[in-house]
Structure 1
């Protein structure tokens, strides 16, 4: 009888031991809690990028240059012709891209000074200087020559040591509009020959002006030199 009880006790102990061993594998974290090596699930990978959270590679979407701006179509009249800007409040007429005045149908105004007329004024100015006709050159300045800032005699004396001037006239700029006036810049490059045989070179531009208001005289209506910005080019 004693031997049978011993066998039953031994079988019970073995069963308890087996159940305890199975319980260890039920919790994968138990091994690490006790300092033993355990096999954990891999940790999720974070998104790549800088500390600001911006991705290091561009995301989907437009990667090329943006579409060109849509050019607004001009307004047309009932006949399909472009509608010109309204006449300014100062009574002047609209102008073309090159500054030529236009009438309502878009054609050039007959007799109105053009940018090429302004270029001709600069050309005539130096032709008069080379001909020693200083009074005529002086008169090509606005306000009867007073825009030069000199008297007629002071103007003539300024060319006392000059034997001749060669000028290269470059393409003029666009006509600028102001209240009652128009302005145009004409770039130039000059070479002035001196009596001692030397030459002096200048670059710069003339700004020509004309009036566009009602009641202006023919002289005021024409292109005249309003100012000059010429700088000597040192060799």
Structure 2
């Protein structure tokens, strides 16, 4: 009886060793940590597979904002700073939407450090600036919406994005000259490019306001 048990145990041990060898040869190894056997998969394609899995999960759970106003804000923020609230570029423009200090003063923000470190204030500033720009450009939006200038269809969202880039005065000159009076920022980004890139978003929720100031209370 003892001999039979010994043979059975020997057979089981042999099979176990064979399975381990096969498992190891299929890009798997056994790692011993703290006396506990841990199976760790080693695959040349593992990093690629992990990347694809993360990408699929991101696509599955990231809301598709499309051409909504939220989509407009996120797209513009990504273009300006990759949606980094704390970015300061080499020209001193601040935050997610890369505001200049002069523009901030126009909407009642006088503390650049507070602005840079307060995402909620940055979002309020974006809305306020868009409202002010929409007021300044309200007649031009009505006049040029749906027309084509330099091969680009003019839309309200494109106009507001271009005004964020260049200021409403420059956009007004661009539209009224039918694209002859252009503008490019220090990085070479033009009004035409912003008109095209941010065309067709729903910005109807932005109400034109002549005088708008941002109010914010420190927590």
TM-score category (smaller protein)? under 0.3
Taking structure 1 as the reference length, the TM-score comes to 0.20
Q: Give the structure with higher Rg (CA).
A: 1
Whose helix proportion is higher, 1 or 2?
A: 2
TM-score by length of 2: 0.21
Higher strand share: 1
